[in-house]
A and B are shown apart, each in its own frame.
Chain A
Amino acid sequence: MLAEETSTACLHCLQPVLENEAFCCSGCEMVYGILNQQGLGDYYQYRGQIELLRAPAPVREARESLDWANSLTERELNFYLEGVHCSACVWLVEKLPTLLADVEEAHLNLGTQLLQLKLTADGDLKAALQRLQTWGYRARLIRQPLERETFARQAHFWQLCRLGVAAFGAGNLMILSVALYAGLNGRLIVYFEWLSLLLALPVLIFSAWPFYWQAWLQLRYRQRVSVDLPIAISLWLGTLGSIYSLLTSQHELYLDSLSMLVFLLLLSRYTLQRTQQALVRHDLFHYLYQPQTLARLEGDQFKQSPFEAIQVGDCVRLEVAERIPLDAEVLSGKSWVDQAILTGESQALPVSPGSLVFAGSINQDQPLIVSVRAIGQQTRLAQIIEKARNYQQEKSRLLSITDQVARYFVSAVLLTAAGLGIALWATPALAISRILALVIVACPCALALATPLIIQISLKTALAKGFFVQNAESFEQLQKVKMVVFDKTGTLTEGRFQVLKTEGLDSESKRALWALESESNHPIARTLRHYLLASGPMLLAEVTELQSLVGGGLSACIQGVNWRVQPRGQFSRLSEGPLAQVCLDIFCDGSLRATLYLGDSLKAEAAETVATLQAAGLAIYLLSGDQADACLQVAHALGIPESQVLYCQSPEAKAQFLEQHPLAMMVGDGINDLQALSKARVGVSVQGSAEENLQLADVFLADSLKALPAFFRHARLTRRLLYSALTFSLLYNLVAVSAAIGGYISPLVAAIVMPISALTVFLLALWGGQRLCRF
């Protein structure tokens, strides 16, 4: 273990470490020890071989009590596992059965992060979950209604069947058609034609069913016309026309082209769907902050009862370091509560009897006895999310360019067909064959094929670069963005309370500070302890006469000397870094020894990102709930004009601002920005875990703010690809339609041109995808 002492990366997590340190933190050291102890050192070997498959997302710090696990009697359970990111994780998690006698089978799906756990008859679920927790994974039980899961599985099965039948039919038809086009004659023509029909009917009825169904729904409910309608029309007319020509021996069959089209369309849609599903699972959000059980007062003692049974007015106990799952009023107990998720405020707030606590915040200090005010959909958190979801739905009604083109396209083709019918009224047979050729050849192949393919490739490469794109339309919307609105806390700044600057802090005063703060649970004391530990091991000194001072601060006698820590009321903020919020003086025997400044600090990449975006001609705004001076200082440090800084904004005011500025992109973090994110044309979220953020933001940048300019480039390239595919498609159709009107399209030409156009579009998309990967 000490052999790699010279390395600069943590042995466990590969983050950079201080010189001569093997680990970045004691947590990593512990996990490393546990793994080696249990003979699982191979983990590091596997991890080393294979690159990360998904960006590592931090698991939320709140530690869950696992008592609920004992109340479950099922032996086969599904979990959503947070913190899984590479194949070494698969290896480790699937080792569970060999390590624990409680587990019979463990099966992890890396794509969806779903873990199937099968326990032995008397296996202890809690033990298994605890083991996962020590490894740094967090398992969330999925209690999906059984019918829904079976339904999804069935749907997937039928989808695959449709695809398989289409591949079978189209492949065989191609072979038969070659013979027909090559000039087969005599009796065999009729035989081959009937065989073609036999092969094509399952494809055109069974496989193509989703297109007919979508088209029917669009007509029935007068929804916006999508590309499905022209496809359905082409398929129907093509099939009926082919059967008609078969019966009248005209030898004009389009069955092979149509079947191939169905196959390619199904294939591109299927792959797109798989990519999107791997990205996010909406149905899991419901469970995100919900514990399985909660300690409820029954009679005169607290009993664990299922969360579903908790009602408004109940008296429950909220444990330390857990997410509070409901809105409540504190009855007894004093604690600090971190409400960052709701307010964006980086400093924890004190709560005492009478104060309100809200779902989503974390109880940091001591257990609280509370009376429940609101549960589930009634909590403030749920309402914020609900509101944001509604906005999001409104937004998705914006027409995407493909659908817009499809809409005009359908009307144009139908009008031309009608015109052709009127013009050739005198010769019905000719009119029918021309109209048929027109409709088939004009099928928006490229449109329907290329768009999903390009979007799928783009989403996939985006994922590899650390952009989780939830809403593929943001690629298009990004073009219209003229301004970028940043949230301050947690987006441009670290969002964490930390020591920014020290004056005169020597080893003696450090030791005194450690001694003074080691007992306190105040958030500032924690920050200080963290800071002191990072600078080296701390020895415990003998402390007597420890007392809290009026107006904040502590004093004590340490090894016979009187030390005192006191916050300074007034200090010049400007000179002490942009975001200093607290200034602490350390006195020794009444004379000032050292001064510490604490506060939030700017992210290292913030200045560069803002400068790059400004250089690209975007207006940068700062929108924050924080006080004026803090905002202005940040703006000043980043070169944002003062006229574009808005401070003291409530979440509602932020949302309103974005509503008034429809060309804005919002960059924020966490739930407190959700309303604004969902109102923005494009909402980007930059902090926390993908699971949390992807629910409502359009885009989540896993790495850092620095990826923002790269995301703009990625979107631009995607758009360019989409437009070139559209242009190609329209050009092709223009030529083909004119030829069809003129009567130059014979079945042979149609059969050659249609696959070629499909193939061209495919290649175009793949080539473009390569370029997307490379830049």
Chain B
Amino acid sequence: MSILILFVPMAIGISLVFLLAFIWAARQRQFEDLETPAHRILFDD
């Protein structure tokens, strides 16, 4: 079970990467308009 001492921080470290990715996306203002892109993708060009 002692291996948990290593694995748990590793798991947390991986999830930390996702947190940083989320903050990066927020910084890029990807969450400001949640409605329009869903429609824009339907247009052909």
Contact = CB atoms under 8 A, between A and B. Distances in A.
B4 to A, nearest CB: 6
A728 interface: no
A109 B4 contact: no
Main DSSP-derived SS at the B contact region: helix
Given A46-B42, A157-B27, A171-B15, A164 B22 contact: yes
A165 interface: yes
A536 B23 CA distance: 63
Main DSSP-derived SS at the A contact region: helix
A111 B26 contact: no
Interface residues on B, range: 20 to 34
Contacts of B8: 176, 192, 195
A403 B26 CA distance: 32
B26 A161 contact: yes
Given A161-B23, A164-B26, A172-B15, A110 B35 contact: yes
A106 to B, nearest CB: 12
Interface residues of A, number: 34
Given A160-B31, A165-B19, A176-B8, A87 B42 contact: yes
Interface in B1-45: 1, 4-5, 8-9, 11-12, 15-16, 18-19, 22-23, 26-27, 29, 31-36, 39-40, 42-44
B36 A172 contact: no
B19 A168 contact: yes
B3 to A, nearest CB: 11
B40 A168 contact: no
B23 A111 contact: no
A616 interface: no
A49 to B, nearest CB: 7
A111 B16 contact: no
B9 to A, nearest CB: 8
A589 to B, nearest CB: 63
B19 A46 contact: no
Interface in A139-174: 153, 156-157, 160-161, 164-165, 167-168, 171-172
A199 B13 CA distance: 11
A175 B42 CA distance: 40
B35 A46 contact: no
Contacts of A160: 22-23, 26, 31
Contacts of B5: 188, 191
A164 B24 CA distance: 11
A452 B44 CA distance: 39
Contact of A188 (B1, B15, B26): B1
B35 A157 contact: no
Contact of A168 (B4, B9, B16, B36): B16
A50 B1 contact: no
A151 to B, nearest CB: 14
B26 A157 contact: yes
Contacts of B4: 188
Contacts of B1: 188
Contacts of B33: 109-112
Nearest to A161: B23
A158 to B, nearest CB: 9
A111 B33 CA distance: 7
A717 interface: no
Contacts of B40: 87, 90-91, 94
A171 B4 CA distance: 18
B39 A168 contact: no
B43 A46 contact: yes
Contacts of B42: 46, 49-50, 87
A278 B16 CA distance: 31
B39 A172 contact: no
Contacts of B26: 157, 160-161, 164
A112 B40 CA distance: 15
A87 B41 CA distance: 11
B41 to A, nearest CB: 10
B13 to A, nearest CB: 10
A161 B39 CA distance: 27
A87 B15 contact: no
Contacts of A442: none
A90 B22 contact: no
A109 B43 contact: no
Contacts of A53: 35
A171 B22 CA distance: 15
A110 B29 contact: no
B16 A109 contact: no
Contact of B43 (A91, A110, A192, A195): A91
Nearest to B5: A191
Nearest to A53: B35
A440 interface: no
B38 to A, nearest CB: 8
A328 interface: no
Interface in A188-218: 188, 191-192, 195, 199
A203 B37 CA distance: 31
A109 B36 contact: yes
Nearest to B34: A111
Contacts of B29: 153
Contact of B39 (A87, A156, A167, A188): A87
Contacts of B15: 168, 171-172
A325 to B, nearest CB: 31
A764 B5 CA distance: 40
In this complex, the member of B5, B19, B23, B34 whose beta carbon has the largest number of chain A beta carbons within 10 angstroms is: B19
A164 B6 CA distance: 25
A429 to B, nearest CB: 31
A257 to B, nearest CB: 19
A122 to B, nearest CB: 26
Contacts of A175: 11
Contact of B23 (A91, A108, A164): A164
Contacts of B35: 53, 109-111, 278
A701 B23 CA distance: 39
Given A165-B19, A168-B19, A191-B5, A110 B27 contact: no
Given A153-B29, A160-B26, A110 B12 contact: no
A111 B36 contact: yes
A90 B23 contact: no
Contacts of A49: 42
Nearest to A171: B15
A87 B44 CA distance: 13
Given A165-B19, A168-B19, A191-B5, A156 B12 contact: no
Contacts of B12: 172, 195, 199
A261 B44 CA distance: 44
A192 B12 CA distance: 12
In this complex, the member of A50, A111, A278 whose beta carbon has the largest number of chain B beta carbons within 10 angstroms is: A111
5 contacts: A49-B42, A91-B40, A112-B33, A157-B26, A172-B15
Given A90-B39, A168-B15, A192-B8, 7 more contacts: A87-B39, A87-B42, A90-B36, A157-B26, A167-B19, A168-B16, A278-B35
Interface of B: 1, 4-5, 8-9, 11-12, 15-16, 18-19, 22-23, 26-27, 29, 31-36, 39-40, 42-44
Please name the 5 residue pairs, one residue from A and one from B, whose CB atoms are nearest each other, closest first.
A87-B39, A160-B26, A111-B35, A168-B19, A110-B36
